Structure 1
Amino acid sequence: MTTMRAVRTGAPGTVELVEVARPTPGPRDVLVRVRACGICGTDTFFVQAGGAPLPTGTAPLMLGHEPAGEVLEVGADVVGVHVGDHVVVNPMAAPSGLIGTGGPLGGMAELLLVEDAELGRTLQTVDPAVPFSVASLNEPMAVALHGVNRLAPTEQEQVVVFGAGPIGLGATIWLKLRGVRHVVVVDVQPDRLATALEVGADAVVDSSQEDVAARLTALHGSATNALGQPRPATDAYLDAAGAPQVLQTVQATARWGARLAVVAVHKKPVDLSGILRSELTILGSMGYPTEIFDVTPQLAEHWERFARIISHTVPLDEAQRAFDLALTPGAASKVVVVDER
């Protein structure tokens, strides 16, 4: 086989399943047969834009930075990796450029070249008992774990997660595995809130139907802000939604000394004047500086719990349908493209 199939951006809103050259691994590389690759918001951004933005327009972009698969070939100088190993990949460690987000390699393909293959840095083995679709959650669950690490909650604290998408659900799982006493998930979609309860949330709030402040006070008790105004006794918040209403709600409900970790990308300006009344500490959370393979053992141990995050698995042959689902608001939570041939 001299070629393979791979997914790249097409016209705005579309993807193309194209034939490209089969990668040839060098002595320090590993060739992975990709079995599953998740779709995330970064992928949909590039698809909506029609590719990677350039000064002269846009260029087609190889997609996929959440791959999991099986080792097909191992370079002679690679240590500790064997043909047949199930692996996940660090897309940020590729020397030729970020996998699926601007570099020449994409993880939504039949094969993926892992350059300078090194266990614990560029790739990691996964228990074969874990379905490939669940293993592909390794990268987004690292994002979620970093957000929780930035928030640094204690076991006795009460935490609110805004957004019951994949990152918010992942953060909920990490918070409960960490032993956090009470975790509330806030969203506007009943099916996502139901999933939040399934993965371990202690309570959920539909912010389109309920008064968030009143509900949190009922759940967490009463406290005050710096001015002595009544507020819920919630200790910390995590924003995995990226909506302006989230920051408005946090500023309106935060008690004195509360913390907020922002994992989501905000695309609209927000008013932060309310931080004065609560002395709110806002913590940015970006990517996974150290967490990319910290998550892998627990993902394997609790894979059935993490599997609930996946709403759809779609064959590689139907990549356009997978992206149509991911691009349609409310149609899907987590879409994973799979190749089981």
Structure 2
Amino acid sequence: MRAVTCHRAELEVEDVADPVPERGQVLIDVERCGICGSDLHARTSCDETADDVAALGYDGFMRSDQRVVMGHEFVGTVADYGPRTKRTWPVGTRVVSLPVLRAGDAVHLTGLSEQAPGGYAEQVLATASMTMKVPDGLAADHAALTEPMAVALHAVRKGRVGAKDTAVVVGCGPIGLAVVLMLKATGVRHVIASDYSPGRRELARLCGADVVVDPATESPWSSFEDSKRYLTNPIALAELGLDAMDKLRAVPLLPWAHVMRAAEKAGATPRGPVVFECVGVPGMIEHVVSSAPLLTRVVVVGVCMATDSFRPSMAINKEIELRFAFAYDPSEFHQTLQWIGSEKVDVSPLVTGTVGLDGVAGAFDALRDPERHAKILVDPASAATV
């Protein structure tokens, strides 16, 4: 079959061996496969990531000297099953799948491992138990975004954002836009999106952001109506505590410690916004930690492949919560698929282009320009190269 391989950062269309499903696997005819930001990073920086995950016990991540078929955001139709595998869906059924492939005694990341070729190809293998039927009437272009949207849902849940909280999305590339969509889908009323690119700011508006900010001219931390309730000076926090204690201790016999704990449980104590760092380049964590208000919760979603640093003392003095989000679980993947199918989440603004296999290399180059594209899909049956 025809597929796009990555070898020493070069993308080429080649004839590769047809995939043959083993027990527990399903063979899928690929209809669409999204180009992910992590694919752009892995193309040039896979060795660094491979070293990191090898230290965690997984040595199957792609290396630059290997020839890897990338692509993990795929949708397609069932073509065949491996031996002694339950045929859950009839041949021809449109499905999506979590991109993890059980092969023998090992599990590999589809599209990011030589042992699990991905969806920049005419066919791809998936773990049968991880496949899910696409809702009737849902277009392949939209179903293909299930995987990145599930990443965003997981990040939003990791941030524990309440409806009345302010969420700030830093970076409006595909994953940042997906986070905006999921924040609004989960009922968050105040969403601020920040990006230098006018094109991406416009896409953020289309995705539902309540305020869109150009950080070159305006701070995202002061661009919403209730920003004054957030503290930016540690002394102000101490003063607030002193004032509260003066008032509580002025009431005779008042169990002031219990009152403070009750206020904390009720959400009446100071807190900061929830920030989603969706850029993934060195220096962004430090930027957010140093510029965000006190008591901010930061969820790092952008994938930075390089070594980075930030000032822990700054984070400590501001009592910043720092969390990292990776992937999703099957229930989040399923929830995302259903929300896209019911149009609770409209992913159409994200899709800005489609190419065939011969256009993948050019698409990778085009995605470097934030004014041109957000999400480009690969259609193996298409002859489009631009």
Select which of 206, 217, 242 maps to 1:198.
206
2:170 to 154, 162, 165: 162
Q: Is the 8 A contact 1:220 1:234 kept in 2?
A: no
Alignment correspondent of 2:339: 298
The counterpart of 2:79, out of the listed 72, 75, 78, is 72
Q: Which moved more, 1:244-253 or 1:85-94?
A: 244-253
1:8 to 2, 5, 25: 5
**Structure 2: 5+ residue stretches without partners:** 52-58, 240-269
Distance 2:299 2:45 in 1: 28
1:234 shift after superposition: 4.8
5 Å-filtered alignment, 1:136-151, equals 136-151=144-159
Tell me what 2:13 maps to.
Answer: 17
Q: Could you tell me the percent identity over the aligned residues?
A: 30
Deviation per CA, 1:227-269, whole angstroms, max 9, x where unpaired? Answer: 2179x98521111112455434433443442211111123332
* Distance change (3 Å), C-alpha of 1:94 and 1:188: farther
Question: What TM-score do you get using the length of structure 1 for normalisation?
Answer: 0.87
Give the deviation of 1:330 after TM superposition.
4.7
Alignment partners' CA distance in 2, 1:57 and 1:170: 29
Whether the 8 Å contact between 2:197 and 2:370 is mirrored in structure 1 is no
Q: In structure 2, give the amino acid aligned to 1:19.
A: D
SS at match of 2:187: coil
Q: TM-score, normalised by structure 2?
A: 0.77
1:97 aligns to what SS in structure 2? strand
Partner of 2:378: 337
Q: Which runs of 5+ in 1 are unaligned?
A: none
The 5 Å alignment of 1:181-192 reads 181-192=189-200
Pick from 47, 57, 63: which aligns with 2:70? Answer: 63
Change (3 A) 1:50 1:235: closer
Q: 1:314 aligns with which of 355, 359, 364?
A: 355
Deviation at 1:89, TM superposition (A): 1.4
Aligned CA distance change for structure 1 residues 219 and 314 (closer, same or farther; 3 Å) = farther
Structure whose alpha-carbon radius of gyration is higher: 2
- 1:227 corresponding residue in structure 2: 235
The answer as to whether partners of 1:227 and 1:277 remain within 8 angstroms in 2 is no
Shift of 1:181: 1.6
Contact 1:325–1:332 (CA<8 Å) still a contact in 2?
yes
Deviates most, 70-79 or 245-254: 245-254
SS at match of 1:59: coil
How far, CA to CA, are the matches of 2:144 and 2:64 in structure 1? 31
Query: CA contact under 8 A between 2:231 and 2:272: conserved in structure 1?
Result: no
Query: Aligned to 1:323, which of 356, 364, 375?
Result: 364
User: How many pairs were matched up?
Assistant: 331
Structure 1 stretch 241-250 or stretch 59-68: which is displaced more? 241-250
Superimposed CA distance per residue, residues 129-166 of structure 1 (whole angstroms, 9 cap, x where no aligned partner): 22212211111111111111110111111111111111
Q: Distance in 2 between matches of 1:227 and 1:250?
A: 20
SS at match of 1:107: coil
CA RMSD in angstroms, aligned pairs only: 2.8
Question: 2: CA distance between counterparts of 1:97 and 1:146?
Answer: 21
Matches within 5 A, 1:31-110: 31-48=27-44, 58-75=65-82, 77-95=85-103, 97-104=108-115, 105-110=117-122
Shift in Å at residue 29 of structure 1?
2.9
